[in-house]
A and B are shown apart, each in its own frame.
Chain A
Amino acid sequence: MADDREGTAVKKQKKFFISNTITLVMVLIAMFIFFSLASRHFLSTYNILSMVSNLSFMGIVAAVLTMVMISGEIDFSIGGNIGLTSVVAAILIEGGVPGILVVAICLVMGCAIGVFNGFLVTVVGVNSIIATVGTMSVWRGLAYTFSDGRSVLAIDPVIDFLGRGSVFNIPFPIILFVIVFAISYVVMNLSKWGRKIYSIGVNPMASFLSGINVKQVKFLAFVFCGLAAALGGLILTSLSMVGMPQHGQGLELTIISAILLGGTALGGGKGQILGTLTGILILSVLYNGLTMLDVYYYHVQIAQGAVLIAVVATYEVRQKRLQQ
């Protein structure tokens, strides 16, 4: 008897898990079909490639932030990090520093930013929402200070290639995007470190009492996140050809929305890299498609918010039903 019951429970669980991801992909496909029919330009190679290039830098940050969020923490300072990186890169280029060195410096700075966030959260013990909302404003302020509030032209062969170059006709940012997602997928689904991230997110105390160095794992996740945001900042600088302190403003919320849309839980322990990928794609297709249809920008924002709430509400309702 007991075995029967457990058996059906498993079946239900599997169905639930698949249908959650599948629903999301179906929403994406439905949107895709709708916009292809509604707008002649939507399905053009040019539009698709530019859309994916534009989402690539967000996607890179989202993939890594997903790790931080599954571990039960959050990083709001990614937007500020992007702004600061972009300004520093442009200023260095303006000062005649060779492009490859600029990239190296910016990536190291990204790591340093991650180290600082990680230090605040794991060593000092500040709640990660508070710590990174604080540092968000610090990085942004530094970006304004260094640039004196102006936009700095950033033209350099290496930087240009990052955002606008292509290999075999595939835009380079898309290649970077795919690489980062592939690495994140392997790390989270197949690696020992990824296993630790999940277990910490599910139960930090049990993980600690099983000999997992919880603080060290979280610290490293913050460092990776800083690094990814710096890479995103460099790509955005290249795409826009300027370093601007406003770069990445508000982006943290868009990225976190995409991650939540993809099924990651705010409290940690639950989430999938592929879910985040779908989430980013849904938000981008929605934005791009509605813009193509000449929908007013303000209304596009309303639509994005509504989709986020609708999807997450569905998760909750399903979860409740499953528990009953």
Chain B
Amino acid sequence: MEKINKTFPGVVALDDVSIDLRKGEVLGILGENGAGKSTLIKILAGTYQKNSGKIEIDGKVVEFKNPAEAMSEGIRVIYQELNTLENLTVAENIFLGEQELKKSFPIINWRKMIKESRRILGQLKMDINPNTVMEDLAVSEKQVVEIAKAISKRAKILVMDEPTAALSEEDKDSLFEIIKTLKDSGVSIIYISHRLKEMFEITDRITVLRDGRKIDTVETKKSNDNQLVTMMVGRDISEMYPKRKVPIGEVLMKVKNLKAEGIKDVSFELRRGEILGIFGLLGSGKTHLVKALFGANPITGGEVYLNDEKVSIKKPWQARDNSIGLVPVDRKMEGLALMLGVKENITLANIKDLGKGFLIKKSLEAEKAKKWISSLGISTPSINQEVNSLSGGNQQKVVLARWLETGSKVIILNEPTRGIDVGSKVEIYKLMQDLCEKGAAVIMISSELPEILSISDRILVISAGKINCEFGTDEATEEKLMQTACIR
């Protein structure tokens, strides 16, 4: 891929990025969230169209208008979110859309399909019955099926986007075994991750992206942690995760034996001035916990206390009226009304204070919007700008501004820095600590290990709907968190 450019409204996602992939190698693509990894891959896979640049495979220039064209060139992508159909069998998933027909009569050749599935799964050294229905498999097994699907038709280039996000340590090891097998059979693999350790374990070379630009490509063996981190974040680690000492006060929120959808039994205390980190893998119940605390999912048992007073939060407006704010995990789907302006989005949770009585006082609203835009440093040409055109970091600040405007004292942030650039990340961390200094408290749900280790005052680990363990920041390490997160 040479000099690939891609812009979205208001952002340059890729700026003259070139990568080269050799036959039978594992090329790691390393970068923070928002560095452009996913965009690059989507262009390679034909999901997005590049604005300029060219793609060459085996010396031949190719042009992909859609994913089908990329597939026919042998490019297969396994995305972070699994794309398996839960109510079909393993064999059906592997041959989805490419079922072979019998020669004599145009019906599906089941016997051959199942035999082929066995062969491919055997090649991956996995013992899964092709007739099992997908929903009965574990996450790691589903991922193997995805890989089987990808290599069922000869794959030249296999792209794996954050494949270990939902995997335990053991599952990861077996995935790496599979990758090595594939590599030996001549498949070239692009391995995308922001986890450094994995990069050293599995890749031959590493290309680092930052803010839509390629920084460099290095031989894995000749590189080290520090070099990569500096390339990845463009600054020192200590600047990356600024942490101030904020005095921690009395208990602000107390949750006792909370039960809800996906939550079996959760208890914790949150103190004024504190950032409470909650770490969990995909499917651990962390997002369910957020929704239950905010009244978006019904609570089936347990109690919540605010300032020692028992509160009943059944709906989000009750949460809001009890000074709880939520910055949801999916900004675009759950956080923002994208087609509305910055101003409307900032005041969204507190429309009632926009004037006396029935009408909105426009000057008051503009004043409020301007106040938060300047105090949070939101970069926008005007208060009426559609939030859709802002960068991820500025969008996240708009969501945060909404809860500041509402006067929230307990702010729950679910993956606060997902998909935003490094500079904005640092600002978000600073804002979280500003809040704490002003007497609020923050619950930060995150799956980013360095973030949760550096920013939290205390860390809870959630798994299978239960809090497994609590760590102080000095005793917590990446290994300990991962280990407890994998206990079921």
A interface residues (Cβ-Cβ under 8 A, vs B)? 2-3, 5-7, 9-10, 13, 186, 190-193, 195-196, 198-199, 202-203, 205-213, 269-270, 323
**Interface contacts beyond A192-B359, A203-B333: sample of 9 additional A-B pairs, CB < 8 Å, sorted by A:** A2-B10, A9-B389, A193-B358, A195-B344, A198-B344, A199-B344, A206-B336, A207-B348, A211-B320
Q: By the criterion of a CB under 8 Å from any partner CB, how many residues of chain B are at the interface? A: 41
Instruction: Please give me the residue from chain B that is nearest to A192 by CB atom.
Output: B351
Q: How far is the CB of B306 from chain A (nearest CB, A)?
A: 16
**B351 touching A206 by the CB < 8 A rule?**
no
Report if B215 contacts A (CB, 8 A). Answer: no
Q: How far apart are the CA atoms of A212 and B406 in the complex, in Å?
A: 13
Most B CB contacts (10 A, CB to CB) among A193, A195, A196, A209 go to A209
Known contacts A9-B10, A195-B344, A206-B348, A211 near B389 by CB under 8 Å = no
Residues of A within 8 A of B1 (CB): none
Would you give 22 A-B contacts (Cβ < 8 Å), ordered by A? A2-B10, A3-B379, A6-B10, A190-B359, A191-B358, A192-B359, A199-B337, A202-B337, A202-B340, A203-B333, A203-B337, A206-B334, A208-B316, A209-B326, A210-B320, A210-B348, A211-B319, A212-B348, A213-B315, A269-B337, A269-B339, A323-B9
**B335 touching A213 by the CB < 8 A rule?**
no
Q: How far apart are the CA atoms of A86 and B351 in the complex, in Å?
A: 39
Report if B482 contacts A (CB, 8 A). Answer: no
Q: How far apart are the CA atoms of A301 and B429 in the complex, in Å?
A: 61
B interface residues (Cβ-Cβ under 8 A, vs A)? 9-10, 12, 294, 296, 315-317, 319-321, 326, 328, 333-340, 344, 348-349, 351-352, 354-355, 358-360, 362, 379-382, 385-386, 389, 402, 406
Q: Please name the 4 residue pairs, one residue from A and one from B, whose CB atoms are nearest each other, closest first.
A: A211-B320, A211-B317, A202-B337, A210-B349
Residues of B within 8 A of A202 (CB): 337-340
**A10 touching B337 by the CB < 8 A rule?**
no
Of the candidates A9, A13, A191, A205, the one whose C-beta lies within 8 Å of that of B334 is A205
Residues of A within 8 A of B339 (CB): 202, 269-270
Q: How far is the CB of A250 from chain B (nearest CB, A)?
A: 32
**B381 touching A6 by the CB < 8 A rule?**
yes
**B10 touching A203 by the CB < 8 A rule?**
no
Q: How far apart are the CA atoms of A137 and B323 in the complex, in Å?
A: 46
Question: Helix, strand, loop or mixed for chain A's interface?
Answer: helix
Q: How far apart are the CA atoms of A13 and B334 in the complex, in Å?
A: 24
Known contacts A6-B385, A192-B360, A199-B344, A209 near B334 by CB under 8 Å = yes
**B296 touching A199 by the CB < 8 A rule?**
no
Residues of A within 8 A of B406 (CB): 211
Instruction: Please give me the residue from chain B that is nearest to A7 by CB atom.
Output: B381
Of the candidates A198, A208, A213, the one whose C-beta lies within 8 Å of that of B296 is A208
Residues of A within 8 A of B9 (CB): 9, 323
**B316 touching A210 by the CB < 8 A rule?**
yes
Residues of B within 8 A of A192 (CB): 351-352, 354-355, 358-360
Most B CB contacts (10 A, CB to CB) among A7, A186, A208 go to A208
Residues of B within 8 A of A10 (CB): 381-382, 385
Known contacts A6-B10, A195-B344, A210 near B358 by CB under 8 Å = no
**B337 touching A206 by the CB < 8 A rule?**
yes
**A203 touching B351 by the CB < 8 A rule?**
no
Q: How far is the CB of B10 from chain A (nearest CB, A)?
A: 6
Residues of A within 8 A of B389 (CB): 6, 9
Most A CB contacts (10 A, CB to CB) among B339, B344, B354, B389 go to B339
Residues of B within 8 A of A196 (CB): 351
**B316 touching A211 by the CB < 8 A rule?**
yes
Q: How far apart are the CA atoms of A5 and B344 in the complex, in Å?
A: 23
Q: How far apart are the CA atoms of A287 and B231 in the complex, in Å?
A: 68
Q: How far is the CB of A269 from chain B (nearest CB, A)?
A: 6
Residues of B within 8 A of A198 (CB): 337, 340, 344
Q: How far apart are the CA atoms of A224 and B294 in the complex, in Å?
A: 31
**A191 touching B359 by the CB < 8 A rule?**
yes
Instruction: Please give me the residue from chain A that is nearest to B361 by CB atom.
Output: A190
Residues of B within 8 A of A9 (CB): 9-10, 389
**A213 touching B10 by the CB < 8 A rule?**
no
**A3 touching B349 by the CB < 8 A rule?**
no
Residues of B within 8 A of A207 (CB): 337, 348
Residues of B within 8 A of A206 (CB): 328, 333-337, 348
Residues of B within 8 A of A269 (CB): 337, 339
Instruction: Please give me the residue from chain A that is nearest to B316 by CB atom.
Output: A211
Q: How far apart are the CA atoms of A211 and B324 in the complex, in Å?
A: 10
**B294 touching A209 by the CB < 8 A rule?**
yes
Q: How far apart are the CA atoms of A211 and B10 in the complex, in Å?
A: 29
Instruction: Please give me the residue from chain B that is nearest to A270 by CB atom.
Output: B339
Q: How far apart are the CA atoms of A48 and B124 in the complex, in Å?
A: 79
Q: How far apart are the CA atoms of A303 and B183 in the complex, in Å?
A: 65
Q: How far apart are the CA atoms of A258 and B343 in the complex, in Å?
A: 30
**B359 touching A13 by the CB < 8 A rule?**
no
Q: How far is the CB of B346 from chain A (nearest CB, A)?
A: 11
Residues of A within 8 A of B354 (CB): 192, 195
Most B CB contacts (10 A, CB to CB) among A7, A195, A196, A206 go to A206
Most B CB contacts (10 A, CB to CB) among A2, A5, A192, A198 go to A192
Residues of B within 8 A of A5 (CB): 10
Residues of A within 8 A of B320 (CB): 210-211
**B328 touching A13 by the CB < 8 A rule?**
no
Q: How far apart are the CA atoms of A9 and B384 in the complex, in Å?
A: 12
Residues of B within 8 A of A7 (CB): 381
Of the candidates B335, B338, B344, B380, the one whose C-beta lies within 8 Å of that of A209 is B335
Instruction: Please give me the residue from chain B that is nearest to A323 by CB atom.
Output: B9
Q: How far is the CB of B355 from chain A (nearest CB, A)?
A: 8
Residues of A within 8 A of B380 (CB): 6
Q: How far is the CB of A285 from chain B (nearest CB, A)?
A: 31
Q: How far apart are the CA atoms of A3 and B320 in the complex, in Å?
A: 34
Q: How far apart are the CA atoms of A282 and B9 in the complex, in Å?
A: 34
Q: How far apart are the CA atoms of A5 and B359 in the complex, in Å?
A: 35
Q: How far is the CB of B366 from chain A (nearest CB, A)?
A: 14
Instruction: Please give me the residue from chain A that is nearest to B295 by CB atom.
Output: A211
Q: How far is the CB of A235 from chain B (nearest CB, A)?
A: 27
